[in-house]
């Protein structure tokens, strides 16, 4: 379904990155370029050079000024690059003109196209593949008359083919607006059907009464590592914990699919933990819209845990990116704690509390314990101590309460079993008839 733009399976494609510096982005320009390089590397591209220009605003026709375009042409020939990627979004006119002026066999794409390509490579589930494909098609619409549009549909039929997987005997699809709009409509219909099942699962989780925690933050900050450490230690899945782990690797956007696991702590408190798609600055709007259902795991949570790579010198910029993205998906009002991860790399003392936040390392056992302690205090702060009197003929109710809650005190009298435990308001209402006043 989802398809890749660049052929990165056998040899790394040589690429020149381009960017314009102006008053708006000059303060963080170096960081933006470094992030841009990391994106290219994440797509298995070989960055052979970076060309920048100080310019108030991009040229409407060619992005760069005429002299800089000539310099880019010479650089492409000297470095034997056949791909140019802009850090800014390009119009169809800019792409078409640049390709004509540089060389007929050189492709010009932009940052959004690059991120879409990375997402296409990372998408594993059918829903994720469809979401990426939808974003790709929406990205194609205004770029029908560029080489990019031709590349986008040179692919095998179904089953997650890439843009560079040339289907055996396949002919190019006729790329016109009606065709793409029909494809968008078909994808949306299929997604709606698949997401309805996901919605049913989410409603079941909502009805469970369990608290929900979502790990959020910049891509490659360590969310999946924390998820796996918690699953190893506290998941209710016994010997199957290895199968329930999420994929983790030191690269941008290693995982796209939201994963939810049921966690049971030693004190019997339970919650649902989800790992969400990573954020990045200027995440394409089409992708945010396409992955809205995945991001809803964050916006519907009781607590957000922001994971930050404190060893990265630009971690404060990453905090800003996460804050902007949370506002974008309507999750800015949800309570949040921050884990300043990779403290071992940053040579910081850990684990240490910083207010309600934590300086830690996902690879450290004591950090995991401190993490869980923080969750215990923050997530379950609304629990209230209550005394219940369970009649002897309500043994199943008593068993359920003991199984799922930490009992603080238990004694018997002639009317039944008196127990003291901590419950949420919802649970107190559920067992209201047993409250011992």
Q: Which residues are annotated as a binding site for GTP?
A: 217-224, 253-257, 275-278, 341-344, 361-363
Binding-site annotation, residues for Mg(2+):
224, 255
Task: Give the annotated binding-site residues.
Answer: 217-224, 253-257, 275-278, 341-344, 361-363
User: Own/partner pairs for 312-319, CB < 8 Å, 24+ apart?
Assistant: 312/342, 314/31, 314/34, 314/35, 315/340, 317/28, 317/31, 317/281, 318/217, 318/218, 318/221
Distances (CA, A) of 114 to 145, 330, 334: 18, 26, 31
Residue 336: which of 319, 309, 357 has the closest Cα? Answer: 357
Is there a contact between 1 and 130 (Cβ–Cβ < 8 Å)?
Answer: yes
The Cα–Cα gap between 409 and 227 comes to 33
Strand, helix or coil for residue 84: strand
Rounded CA separation 324/320 (Å): 6
Torsion sign, CA atoms 142, 144, 148, 153: positive
Residue 155 contacts by C-beta under 8 Å, 6 or more apart in sequence? 3, 161, 162, 163, 164, 165, 166, 167, 170
């Amino acid at each position: 379904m989802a398809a890749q733009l660049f052929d990165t399976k056998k040899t790394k494609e040589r690429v020149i990155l381009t960017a314009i510096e102006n008053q708006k982005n000059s303060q963080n320009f170096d960081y933006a370029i470094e992030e841009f390089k990391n994106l290219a590397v994440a797509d298995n591209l070989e960055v052979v050079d970076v060309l920048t220009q100080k310019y108030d605003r991009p040229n409407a026709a060619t992005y760069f000024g005429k002299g800089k375009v000539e310099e880019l042409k010479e650089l492409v020939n000297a470095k034997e690059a056949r791909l140019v990627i802009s850090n800014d979004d390009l119009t169809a006119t800019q792409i078409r003109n640049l390709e004509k002026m540089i060389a007929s066999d050189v492709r010009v794409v932009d940052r959004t196209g690059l991120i879409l390509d990375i997402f296409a490579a990372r998408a594993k589930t059918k829903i994720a593949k469809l979401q990426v494909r939808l974003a790709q098609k929406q990205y194609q619409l205004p770029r029908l008359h560029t080489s990019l549009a031709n590349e986008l549909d040179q692919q095998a039929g179904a089953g997650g083919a890439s843009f560079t997987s040339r289907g055996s005997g396949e002919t190019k699809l006729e790329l016109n607006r009606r065709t793409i709009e029909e494809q968008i409509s078909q994808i949306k219909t299929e997604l709606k059907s698949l997401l309805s099942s996901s919605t049913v699962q989410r409603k079941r989780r909502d009805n469970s009464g369990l608290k929900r925690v979502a790990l959020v933050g910049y891509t490659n900050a360590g969310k999946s590592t924390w998820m796996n450490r918690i699953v190893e230690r506290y998941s209710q899945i016994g010997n199957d914990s290895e199968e329930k782990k999420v994929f983790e690797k030191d690269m941008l956007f290693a995982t796209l699919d939201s994963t939810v696991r049921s966690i049971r702590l030693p004190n019997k408190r339970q919650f649902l933990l989800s790992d969400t798609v990573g954020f990045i600055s200027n995440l394409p709007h089409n992708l945010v819209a396409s992955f809205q259902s995945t991001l809803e795991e964050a916006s519907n949570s009781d607590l957000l845990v922001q994971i930050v790579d404190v060893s990265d010198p630009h971690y404060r910029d990453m905090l800003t990116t996460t804050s902007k993205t949370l506002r974008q998906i309507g999750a800015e009002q949800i309570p949040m704690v921050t884990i300043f991860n990779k403290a071992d790399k940053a040579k910081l003392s850990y684990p240490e509390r910083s207010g309600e936040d934590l300086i830690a390392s996902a690879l450290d056992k004591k950090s995991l314990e401190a993490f869980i302690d923080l969750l215990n205090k923050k997530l379950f702060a609304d629990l209230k101590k209550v005394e219940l009197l369970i009649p002897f003929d309500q043994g199943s109710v008593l068993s359920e309460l003991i199984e799922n809650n930490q009992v603080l005190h238990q004694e018997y009298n002639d009317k039944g079993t008196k127990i003291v435990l901590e419950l949420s308001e919802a649970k107190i209402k559920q067992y209201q008839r047993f409250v011992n006043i």
